[in-house]
């Protein structure tokens, strides 16, 4: 069971009293990520092949990966290796403060708006799905950072946020530090779809490195009947 929203709000207020917010980039008081540090982050110009992660202007698979890749497109808002962004993503992972998730989700929204303007895609999504954590890890942590990022995105565009479709059926080792081939096996078959699969899905995660997890999710959704699965992450690297 996930703690209710009021519990998260209360926790946030207690945290704010005990540890008043200060920018993770420059330590200025008053917010978790100030507008100057947020505006100073480098952004990704185009997308990535969702199979091999080579740059791809429209985020579609390269000709080598096209036949075997379950993801339709892959995008990330920013390159990950920027001090402020690494600190922000880690703080989000370990504190779960929505006040920190909001400016980061703003980067995702701006990137998606830019992509829509650049005609990378045009149709609405039937579901925005955050990459799920296993129930055990969710219980231990009490929130999941992908959902904290996905909620403001869904709200901004008016697409339904769906956390009741895709589930992690077994706990997997954390992907960080694992070589690509091991990562692929680590998450293969780890996800399951319950109920009707939406036609067009937007998958959301915080950081994409090899996209093995995104592909495993997309495979489960496509096998269950989804037509297109587009993945977007806050950061790549």
If one asks whether residue 26 binds Zn ion (CB under 5 A), the answer comes out as: yes
If one asks whether residue 38 binds Zn ion (CB under 5 A), the answer comes out as: no
If one asks whether residue 23 binds Zn ion (CB under 5 A), the answer comes out as: yes
**Helices 145-157/98-117 angle, 10° precision:** 50
CB of 191 to Zn ion, least distance (A): 22
If one asks whether residue 71 binds Zn ion (CB under 5 A), the answer comes out as: no
Only one residue has tokens 């496509």, namely 222
Only one residue has tokens 């799920």, namely 132
Size of the site for Zn ion (CB under 5 A): 10
CB of 28 to Zn ion, least distance (A): 5
Q: What are phi and psi of 118, to 5 degrees?
A: -80, 5
Token digits for 155?
């709200």
What residues from 126 to 145 belong to the interface with Zn ion (CB under 5 A)? none
CB of 134 to Zn ion, least distance (A): 29
Got the DSSP string for 176-196? TT--HHHHHHHHTT-EEE-SP
Answer whether 210's CB lies under 8 Å from 128's CB: no
**Site for Zn ion (CB under 5 A): which residue of 34, 44, 77, 202?**
34
**Site for Zn ion (CB under 5 A): which residue of 2, 8, 15, 52?**
52
Whose Cβ is closer to Zn ion: residue 25's or residue 130's?
25
Query: Left, alpha or beta for 225 (phi > 0: left; psi -120 to 50: alpha)?
Result: left
Query: Left, alpha or beta for 166 (phi > 0: left; psi -120 to 50: alpha)?
Result: beta
Whose Cβ is closer to Zn ion: residue 52's or residue 192's?
52
Only one residue has tokens 């982050």, namely 41
Whose Cβ is closer to Zn ion: residue 85's or residue 235's?
85
Q: In this chain, which stretch among 46-54, 98-106, 183-191, 193-201 interacts with Zn ion, using CB under 5 A?
A: 46-54
In the complex, which residues of this chain contact Zn ion (CB under 5 A)?
Answer: 23, 25-26, 34, 37, 49, 51-52, 62, 65
């Amino acid at each position: 069971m996930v703690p209710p929203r009021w519990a998260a709000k209360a926790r946030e207020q207690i945290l704010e009293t005990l540890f008043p917010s200060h920018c993770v980039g420059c330590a200025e008081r008053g917010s978790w990520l100030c507008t100057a540090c947020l505006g100073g982050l480098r952004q990704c110009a185009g997308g990535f092949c969702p199979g091999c992660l080579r740059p791809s202007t429209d985020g579609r698979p390269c000709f080598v990966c096209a036949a075997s890749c379950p993801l339709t497109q892959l995008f990330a808002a920013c390159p990950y290796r920027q001090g402020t962004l690494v600190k922000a993503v880690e703080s989000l992972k370990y504190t779960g403060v929505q006040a920190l998730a909001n400016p980061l989700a703003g980067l995702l929204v701006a990137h998606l708006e830019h992509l829509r303007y650049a005609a990378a895609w045009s149709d609405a999504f039937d579901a925005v799905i955050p990459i799920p954590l296993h129930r055990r890890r969710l219980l231990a942590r009490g929130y999941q950072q992908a959902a904290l990022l996905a909620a403001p995105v869904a709200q901004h565009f008016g697409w339904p946020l769906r956390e009741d479709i895709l589930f992690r059926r077994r706990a997997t080792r954390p992907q960080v530090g694992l070589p690509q081939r091991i990562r692929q096996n680590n998450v293969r078959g780890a996800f399951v779809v319950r109920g009707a699969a939406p036609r067009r899905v937007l998958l959301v995660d915080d950081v994409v490195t090899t996209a093995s997890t995104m592909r495993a999710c997309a495979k489960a959704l496509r096998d269950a009947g989804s037509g297109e699965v587009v993945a977007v992450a806050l950061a790549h690297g």
